[in-house]
Amino acid sequence: MKKLPLAITTFADIRDPNENYLYIDKTAFAYRLIDSGRYYFLSRPRRFGKSLFLDTLSDLLQSKKELFKGLAVYDKWNWDTSYPVMNISLNSGNFSSRESLTKSILHTLKNVQRDLKIECDPQSELSDCFDDLIKNAYDKYQQKVVILIDEYDKPILDNIENREQALVARDILKSFYSVIKDNDRYIKFVFITGVSKFSKMNLFSGLNNLTDITIMSDYADICGYTQNDIESHFAEHLVDVDLAKLKEWYNGYNYLGGEDKRVYNPFDILLFITNGCKYKNYWWSTGNPSFLIKKLAQEDYYIPDLENIVASEEVLETFDVDNIDLVALLWQTGYLTFEEEITRRGKIFYKLKLPNREIQSSLNELFIQYLTRQTNEAIRHQDHLYDALTGDISDLEQALTALFASIPYNNYANKIIEKYEGYYSSVVYTYFMSLGYPTISEDPTNIGRIDLTIQLPNRTVIIEFKVDQPQQAMQGELPSGKRGHPGVEQIKEQKYYQKYQKPGANEIYIVGINFSSEDKNITEFEWERV
């Protein structure tokens, strides 16, 4: 059984025959890139295999033939030619000030000097040193230079909550990267990777020939594991594992390459196997989404809208320190993925969704903290809601009432949104989504939209929300003359439930809930089975 390459980003280590590591061959992508162009950019979320792919490119362009035996590129590459490679990684370092950032990049350039046995003037400015190294490498080796930049954006992202320092980092990097443009005659190949897609105008000014392969279908699975990879290469590690469940939990990242090119985050799969095939939120736990919470609060975002996002190409690609769009942020960092590409009025739009159950569960737990400021209490409320949804539906009233009663009163301060259905429905939606059940906000029917639908294995629950509904309406003074909760009556009159009435269908429950913006809780709750 081959060993798992957990946390190994060095291609030579993985290909060491004495180690017997499992390797998913990505060298066909490397060959295609080098053979067809010179300047490339790739954005992928963290821990997706970008660093390993860069190291693969590095060893290939240095013609380390022994490492590639048996791989797709072996019979195609000209092993007689080797290029000087400048490996520039910004994955680590102190980027908290102008001085520390400059020092960190200079340290990276010292590694380049050591590897290539070249020098720059130790007193020179950062960009001048980079410029000298490119020319000196070309002169020494009489070959054009390869430049590989890993985590190009990390100095900015590390300071994203500190606008002033983020702008400083952006300006330093812009000057540094501009050196590439001015040395085209000395350059063989450039590959730049990172998490975000900062505007070319603000960071890569002049590099107009930089080809962005982030959502090119031919490179959709350049990083990550496909379903075929899982079934063919990991089979001996996944004996007795339900592959459909594994796919539900961790697959789903779509970069417009088609169903067979949807990918898993490698980190999830490797840790899943290492931890005895236990389902946990492995990738999520490695990040720090505190900035995301602050961004949600700033925009007072309606959480259920995340399931119904259609974004333009411009929105997803326009990302800068002064223009951080929440949807673009969620997509680029891996919390949203493409569902489909849409063309309208001659323009391209993208429908986005949560990629898998890990993200659905984790992101909604984050939203719970944002909406309710609850952490430890959330588990108790999730248990009560789960018991009510799967057991006696009448217990749902008590579970929801206890939930809203536990939300700190000051969480409502300065919120206009509490007067409307949005806040309350967001809380309910988020809690149900965190349970892992398909939860649909603004669920469309032929004559209207259902506020919320929860689909369980054996039942469907349809909910209508009202806020500050007059008490007489609760007592039956409805336009139809019928008695009952107006939410329940609306569902019945509009026949929303018919969407889910099919031969052999599960139980269907309709629920009407009224919230009081003054009491900050449920004042009326009614349900029926139809």
Alpha-carbon distance 187 to 168, whole Å? 28
CA torsion sign for 297, 302, 308, 314 is negative
Q: What digits encode the pLDDT tens for the residues 146-196?
A: 999 999 999 998 888 888 999 999 999 999 999 999 999 999 999 999 998
Q: What digits encode the pLDDT tens for the residues 482-529?
A: 456 788 999 999 899 999 988 777 899 999 999 988 888 999 999 999
In 36-153, at which residue ranges do the beta strands (DSSP E only) sit? 39-43, 85-89, 145-150
pLDDT computed for residue 345 by the predictor: 86
Alpha-carbon distance 254 to 352, whole Å? 10
Span 384-529 CATH architecture: 3-Layer(aba) Sandwich (3.40)
Please give the CATH number for the structural domain made up of 11-214.
Answer: 3.40.50
What distance lies between CA 495 and its chain's CA centroid?
37
pLDDT computed for residue 479 by the predictor: 47
Alpha-carbon distance 84 to 432, whole Å? 55
**Contact predicate 281/267, CB 8 Å:** no
370 membership: H or E segment, kind and range: helix 357-372
Q: Identify the burial level of 502 via C-beta atoms within 10 angstroms of its C-beta, where 0-12 means exposed, 13-18 middle and 19 or more buried.
A: exposed
Alpha-carbon distance 460 to 207, whole Å? 53
Alpha-carbon distance 45 to 31, whole Å? 23
In 117-162, where does DSSP find H-type helix?
Answer: 126-141, 154-157
| Residue in the structure block whose two tokens are 């790739």 | 42
pTM: 0.89
Alpha-carbon distance 316 to 311, whole Å? 7
55 membership: H or E segment, kind and range: helix 50-61
**Contact predicate 454/460, CB 8 Å:** yes
**Contact predicate 239/231, CB 8 Å:** no
Q: Supply 87's token pair.
A: 């490996």
**CA-to-CA dists, residue 265 to 165, 251, 430, angstroms:** 31, 7, 24
Q: Domain extents for the chain?
A: 11-214, 225-285, 288-353, 384-529
pLDDT computed for residue 481 by the predictor: 46
| Residue in the structure block whose two tokens are 């720059």 | 120
pLDDT computed for residue 425 by the predictor: 85
Taking 70 as the pLDDT cut, the residues of the chain under it are 199-201, 206, 288, 300, 318, 409-421, 470-484
> Please, how many CA atoms are within 13 Å of residue 397, restricted to the half-sphere of its CB?
13
